[in-house]
A = this chain, B = another copy of it.
Amino acid sequence: MKFRKLIMLPGPTNVPDRVMNAMLTPVMGHRTPDFASVIKNISEKSKQVFQTSGDVVLFTASGTGGVEAAITNIIKKGDKAIVTNYGEFGERAGHMVEGAGGILIKVDAAFGDAPRISQLEEAYEKNKNIKALVIVTNETSTGTSFKWLKQAGDLASKYGSFLILDAVSGLGGDNIPVDEIGADVVATASQKCLAAPAGLALVSLSEKARKYVVNNPPPLLYFNISRQLKYLETGQTPFTPALPIYHALDEALTMVLEEGIQKRIKRHEICADAFYSSFESIGLELFAKKDVRSNTVIAAKYPSNVDDKQFREDLDKQYRVVIAGGFGSYKGKIFRVGSMGEVNKYHVITTISAINQTLNAMTGKLTKKDPLEIAKSRLDNL
């Protein structure tokens, strides 16, 4: 396919033309002053977006690569880590802790819910010498968020743990003020709320984390943060970076800062609210519990007679609207709409309209309420 579709996935997301076009910046040497200034620009802008004074390093990798870097640079053999487990990405984080030789202490919540602070406190009380608390800030797989980051930061600080955040589908759309939270290592990716193409993972480091990783580098090369920090000083990366994605991310970060972080987060909140309200108005059951609903990934259950594959195919073929299905055991049972990055009135209205008409056609039932009216009323503030 060569024509453009409306990408309402929980990543990759729609990328603005000026960001796409930045990829055509002529090839440059990655160890030249030309590229050092690109790295410097990205570094400075990233710090603002992460709301941190710490360094942000970049890996040519997916978000999962960034989270693996975060975890494997902190967790060593025998180290205990508490990990929030409420979806696919919590499971991955747990897998990484164990892969690094650590001892995994899972804090579970049912899919559609999120662990509560009291559960984390309990885990701390039951276990001693916790090296790290690992929190998935937003569960892309279920459309739920962990909403108590500041309290989690206080808890990690009280017990002397590192706080590691998988903020892949949150940062840039949710308010994640890294320094204020007291988060030590925070990973995100280019293709989610930052609205750049996929290919780069960004990882921030507190002063405490920086000291630790420099003195305790992991045995392998690629996800070695210490090596990254050393090269960052001279405006380089240890290994050849995905240059076009750097140029795109540089432009995307400029757009984030032009809009302003707080305004961007507000926009995400408003769009998510419009999705939730209009879905409810046409009788769709939302998957996430109300108080942990995600601002960036909207998950809803299918009416019993709607086939996932057919539904998403119709949306794609007839409306060029691309949304995601469920993960793992929720495959076929829920659909997920990514409401992140560039998401705005047009995206929300078009998506709701396409979903409503497709559901009507498939179920043969016309909803009494017009979800567009409801969505539009919620979008007034944009």
Contact = CB atoms under 8 A, between A and B. Distances in A.
Interface of A: 1-5, 7, 9, 11-15, 20-21, 23-32, 34, 60-65, 68, 72, 92, 95-96, 98-101, 189, 191, 197-200, 218-223, 238-245, 248, 316, 322, 324
Given A30-B198, A322-B32, A244 B23 contact: yes
A1 B60 contact: no
Contacts of A96: 220-221
Contacts of A11: 240
A26 B4 contact: yes
Nearest to A219: B99
9 contacts: A21-B24, A60-B198, A60-B242, A61-B239, A62-B239, A64-B222, A100-B220, A198-B241, A199-B243
A220 to B, nearest CB: 4
Contacts of A221: 64, 68, 92, 95-96, 99
A contacts with B: majority SS: loop
Contacts of A1: 26, 28, 34
A248 B100 CA distance: 34
Contacts of A243: 12, 197-199
Contacts of A29: 7, 9, 12, 322, 324
Contacts of A34: 1
A27 B14 contact: yes
Contacts of A324: 29, 31
A199 B33 CA distance: 20
Nearest to A3: B26
Contacts of A239: 61-65
A242 B245 CA distance: 8
A83 to B, nearest CB: 14
Contact of A244 (B3, B223, B245): B245
A2 B25 contact: yes
